[in-house]
């Protein structure tokens, strides 16, 4: 996937249309972990407590999943940009070599046509 498409995907995940930035998900995970720690210290377990516990676990799983998606998108974007930079440098190097070969071939043709006349 070209870097521009990855940038668009990252914006979709983290932008206004998405679920917010990765850092916000990490804050939410920290809050959920703190709530879980507080909930585990209070050992009351009624039906409403169990329903709340299930809701919290599902919310945490959803946040972990979407944070993972955002981390993957960011990592691939960094990798794709690095690879694109490397390929552009390689292309510039190859173009320079091709121009040098063409110059050498042009100089060789001029030199051989001059020796034919002698």
69 neighbors 13 (Cβ within 8 angstroms): yes
Tell me, what's the pLDDT at 118?
46
**Which tokens is 100 given?**
């040098």
Alpha-carbon distance of 50 to 91, in angstroms, equals 61
What phi and psi, each to the nearest 5 degrees, are found at residue 117?
-75, -25
Q: Between these two residues, 118 and 103, which has the higher pLDDT value?
A: 103
pLDDT at 102 over 70: yes
Alpha-carbon distance of 41 to 59, in angstroms, equals 20
Q: What percent of the chain has pLDDT over 70?
A: 87
Alpha helices for 1-118 (secondary structure H): 3-14, 22-41, 47-117
* pTM reported for the whole predicted model: 0.66
Alpha-carbon distance of 70 to 64, in angstroms, equals 10
pLDDT at 116 over 90: no
- Cα dist from 114 to 97, 106, 108, 117, whole Å: 26, 13, 10, 5
Counting Cβ atoms within 10 Å, is residue 14 exposed (0-12), middle (13-18) or buried (19+)? buried
List, for residues 46-84, the tens digit of each pLDDT value: 778 888 889 989 999 999 999 999 999 899 999 989 999
pLDDT band with cut points at 50, 70 and 90 for residue 12: confident
Q: Between the ranges 2-11, 15-24, 105-114, where is the mean pLDDT highest?
A: 15-24
């Amino acid at each position: 996937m070209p870097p521009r498409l990855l940038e668009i995907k990252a914006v979709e995940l983290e932008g206004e249309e998405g679920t917010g930035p990765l850092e916000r998900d990490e804050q939410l995970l920290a809050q959920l972990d703190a709530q879980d720690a507080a909930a585990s210290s209070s050992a009351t377990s009624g039906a409403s407590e169990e329903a709340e516990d299930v809701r919290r676990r599902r919310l945490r799983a959803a946040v972990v999943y979407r944070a993972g998606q955002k981390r993957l998108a960011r990592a691939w974007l960094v990798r794709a940009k690095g690879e694109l930079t490397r390929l552009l440098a390689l292309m510039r190097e190859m173009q320079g070599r091709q121009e040098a070969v063409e110059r050498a071939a042009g100089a060789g043709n001029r030199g051989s046509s001059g020796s034919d006349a002698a």
